[in-house]
Amino acid sequence: MTYGITPPERQIDLRLPDGRVFAWSEWGPQNGRPVVFCTGAAMSGALGFGAGVLSALDVRLIVPDRPGLGRSDPHPKKTLLSWVADVRCLLHTARLGDARVVGFSQGAPFALALAGADLVGAAALVSPQDDLRHPALTPLLSPDVANMVSAIATDPDGFEAAFADFATAGGLWELILGMSGERDRAVYLDPTFHAAYRQALAEGFARGARPYARDLVNALAPWPYEPEEMRIPVDLWFGGQDASTVHSPDFGMTLASRLPYATRVLDANEGASILWTRAYEILQALLAHTP
């Protein structure tokens, strides 16, 4: 199977007002309904999803390289708010209105930042990293994740520097596989998927590990917009066989209670890879929300 994985159909570089290059990949009809995809940890935008269903749904899938990952230049002081500013430039330059957003894994906080800034009309968070600082989730965290959250709260710059010293694309891949159950390993080790995922990670680390470490700090530090402030529909998609310790430890129950307009889907037969196995349903539900 290909799980909706094909090479990017278009790759675009935008020169931002501060001189940095902000790059993204695209799939689907150029005049389709824009959906921004916030990728998982350390991934470039070269790995999309749902390539086989985008035309039927009239979706233009836009997958940015977060600053420092892939073709996008690093941002010396990258935050979730600087990410919002970069995507705002993308949408304005490309003249894209009524955009939607999908956030996978570590991409979820980046997707919610776009929602909080009113850049998108609806969001889908798939196998998302949660607000792991929330008191209701603290007892559910694995010791390693709890230690990361604590270290970032105490000394974010020190954690970023130390983490960047040892993180590698190969090490992250082994970590992902090690946290994956049988359902996810079947997807991730599919030859087509495996090659595309490893390429996206290699591109994500092409400028070193510091940009990924910065993303991790931003995702685990206080978010600029609280979930309670979101005024758009947010779909939460989970697979009951998701064994990742860095995803929502209660499968989004707490997060759904905090979001005013949340719909939560838990499929007991799926894992974290539900983004690729149920791409049509995820996009169809996202597009069904009216502005």
In terms of phi and psi (left: phi > 0; alpha: psi -120 to 50; beta: otherwise), the region of 19 is: left
pLDDT of residue 102: 98
* CA angle centred on 79, ends 105 and 148, rounded to 5°: 55
pLDDT of residue 185: 96
**CA distance linking residue 47 with residue 188, whole number of Å:** 12
**CA distance linking residue 252 with residue 248, whole number of Å:** 6
Tell me what the pLDDT averaged over the chain comes to.
Answer: 96
Q: Domain for residue 2, yes or no?
A: no
Q: Domain for residue 5, yes or no?
A: no
Q: Domain for residue 4, yes or no?
A: no
Residue 78's CATH number: 3.40.50.1820
Whole-model pTM: value is 0.97
Query: Is residue 291 pLDDT above 80, yes or no?
Result: no
Q: Domain for residue 29, yes or no?
A: yes
**CA distance linking residue 122 with residue 125, whole number of Å:** 10
pLDDT of residue 263: 98
Which two three-digit tokens encode residue 115? 């929602």
Which two three-digit tokens encode residue 271? 């894992």
> Phi and psi (nearest 5°) for 289?
-70, 130
Q: Domain for residue 3, yes or no?
A: no
Instruction: Determine the average pLDDT of the residues in 115-142.
Output: 97
DSSP per-residue codes, 117-186: TT--S-EEEES----TTSTTTGGGS-HHHHHHHHHHHH-HHHHHHHHHHH--HHHHHHHHHHT--HHHHH
**CA distance linking residue 271 with residue 99, whole number of Å:** 27
**CA distance linking residue 132 with residue 112, whole number of Å:** 14
Residues 6+ apart with CB under 8 A from 246: 41, 105, 106, 129, 145, 179
Q: Domain for residue 39, yes or no?
A: yes
The CB density around residue 170, as the number of other CB atoms within 10 Å, is 11
Which two three-digit tokens encode residue 282? 């995820």
Query: For 186-229, how does the pLDDT look when each residue is reduced to its tens digit (9 = 90+)?
Result: 999 999 999 999 999 999 999 999 999 999 999 999 999 999 99
Q: Domain for residue 154, yes or no?
A: yes
Residues of the domain holding 127: 10-288
pLDDT category at 2 given cuts 50, 70, 90 is confident
Query: For 71-116, how does the pLDDT look when each residue is reduced to its tens digit (9 = 90+)?
Result: 999 998 999 999 999 999 999 999 998 999 999 999 999 999 999 9
**Domains in the chain, number:** 1
**CA distance linking residue 98 with residue 244, whole number of Å:** 32
pLDDT of residue 76: 85
pLDDT category at 179 given cuts 50, 70, 90 is very high
What pairing do the DSSP bridges indicate for beta strands 59-64 and 21-27?
A: antiparallel
Instruction: Determine the average pLDDT of the residues in 3-16.
Output: 96
Residues 6+ apart with CB under 8 A from 65: 22, 23, 24, 25, 44, 45, 71, 72, 203
CA distances from 283 to 25, 101, 126, 139, 180 (A): 18, 10, 11, 33, 24
Q: Using a pLDDT cut of 70, give the percent of the chain over it.
A: 100
Instruction: Determine the average pLDDT of the residues in 131-156.
Output: 96
